[in-house]
Structure 1
Amino acid sequence: MNSVKLLAIAVILGGLALFIKGGYMQAKAHFAQFLVANAWQKTLEQGGEHKPWSWADTWPVARLFLHSGQKSSASLQHNDKGAKSLYVLAGAVGRTLAFGPGMLLSGAKPGEAGNTVIAGHRDTHFASLQYLKPGQVLSMQIPSGETIEYQVFDAGVYHESDAWLMEDTDRSILTLITCYPFDALFANTPHRYVVRASLRQTIEKS
């Protein structure tokens, strides 16, 4: 067998290995989301904190809905077919952000006075932040089953040194943070895309 054939076989086998690895990672990610969703359902039904898998050091604390417009109604999160649904996990650290956006534990809980800060990766869960504009409505289901509704009042690019964005406030604010630019080829960029929204209303559990 000549060197050309050996090279061709090596390239094919290498491509196949990458394909299998990619498929495995995708399957693993989908299964993780299934487990997170199951844990969230247990939280709604039983209360308390439910880990998606036994060795997890995080758990779902909310379900965030990013809506396609300014609509608002008591059943918005169920009827808005353009809404993107994300399970929010406890803790905004790297190992948590791999599975979903993470809520800063030192911040306020959703709906309470203060700043609720949630971070996510720009190339996965929070890629859609770039389409949010002032006036648009966001909603968040909390463990009680109630829905907290927010309205965006600011969306833009900030420097990573703008720590005031995560400071406490005297009103109920939701702050969503991801890296910027969205199409950056490298990680650890100094800029952040930040969406800020203020409490609009609390909708009772139906």
Structure 2
Amino acid sequence: MQAKAHFAQYLIEQAWQRTLVDNLAHKPWSWADTFPVAKLSFVHQSAAQQGGDLFVLAGASGRNLAFGPAAILGNSEVNRWGNTIIAGHRDTHFARLKGVTVGQLIKLQDSGGAERLYRVSNTHIVEEHDTQLLFAADGLQLTLITCYPFEELSERSKLRFVVIALPIDSASLPAESLVKLDRHDSISA
């Protein structure tokens, strides 16, 4: 499953590049029932988070999650007003959430090519049926979700690890952070 998930990201990236050119939804393979809606990058990664950008699919179905993280689009769109919720498997793409720290920066690019920077405000471990953190936010918010604990081998976890990140204005970042951000763009996520 891990090999399929990582190879799929390559095909999804190709579809994403086409989307950025013409702003249309492109399937990553002919039989896909989804398309990429965002590119997710973790800025200043820890050793536990190493990896490239993640390309996010539309619709968090079990089938889509096998290929990559997926957005639960509901009433909001990526980087638009409300809560952008992205789910992923803990043993593939979202294994890197294990290394997320409060204050870490996350960059999310939408299908129009616009990028928004978010700062992790907190993390939570909740029961799978606890959906309070998924409700629409009063403003813009990014929520990342995966099963927990990360080392658990069973397929059916009753816990979820939730990362809440709030948008930041690049003007509020110290100048040295902006330089580092520019320099590390290609290795983020």
TM-score tier after normalising by the smaller chain length: 0.7 to 0.9
Partner of 1:147: 115
Identity of aligned pairs, percent?
46
Q: Which has the larger radius of gyration?
A: 1
Q: Are the aligned partners of 2:107 and 2:116 in contact in 1 as well (CA < 8 Å)? A: yes
Q: Are the aligned partners of 2:20 and 2:111 in contact in 1 as well (CA < 8 Å)? A: yes
Q: Could you report, residue by residue, the CA deviation over 1:172-199 in whole angstroms, capped at 9, with x for unpaired residues?
A: 0100000000000101111100100011
**Match 2:163 to one of 195, 200, 204:** 195
Cα separation, partners in 2 of 1:105 and 1:111, compared to 1, 3 Å: closer
Distance across 2 between alignment mates of 1:113 and 1:197 = 14
Q: Which runs of 5+ in 1 are unaligned?
A: 1-21, 70-81
Shift of 1:31: 4.2
Q: Could you report, residue by residue, the CA deviation over 1:85-116 in whole angstroms, capped at 9, with x for unpaired residues?
A: 10000011110001100000215222221111
Q: Quick one: which amino acid aligns to residue 159 of structure 1?
A: E
Higher RCO by CA contacts (8 Å cutoff, separation 6 or greater): 2
Q: Are the aligned partners of 1:111 and 1:202 in contact in 2 as well (CA < 8 Å)? A: no
Q: Secondary structure at the match of 1:126?
A: helix
Q: Quick one: which amino acid aligns to residue 135 of structure 2?
A: E
Shift of 1:143: 1.2
Q: Are the aligned partners of 1:66 and 1:137 in contact in 2 as well (CA < 8 Å)? A: yes
Distance across 2 between alignment mates of 1:105 and 1:150 = 18
Q: Quick one: which amino acid aligns to residue 165 of structure 1?
A: L
Partner of 2:104: 136
Is 1:47 the counterpart of 2:23? The answer is: yes
**Match 1:106 to one of 50, 69, 74:** 74
- After TM superposition, the runs of 4+ consecutive aligned structure 1 residues lying more than 4 A away are 28-31
Distance across 1 between alignment mates of 2:14 and 2:120 = 29
Q: Are the aligned partners of 2:78 and 2:84 in contact in 1 as well (CA < 8 Å)? A: yes
Is 1:123 the counterpart of 2:99? The answer is: no
RMSD, matched Cα: 2.2
Distance across 2 between alignment mates of 1:95 and 1:132 = 26
Q: Secondary structure at the match of 2:118?
A: strand
Cα separation, partners in 2 of 1:202 and 1:103, compared to 1, 3 Å: farther
Distance across 1 between alignment mates of 2:162 and 2:5 = 26
Partner of 2:32: 56
Partner of 2:41: 65
Q: Which runs of 5+ in 2 are unaligned?
A: 172-189
TM-score (norm 2): 0.82
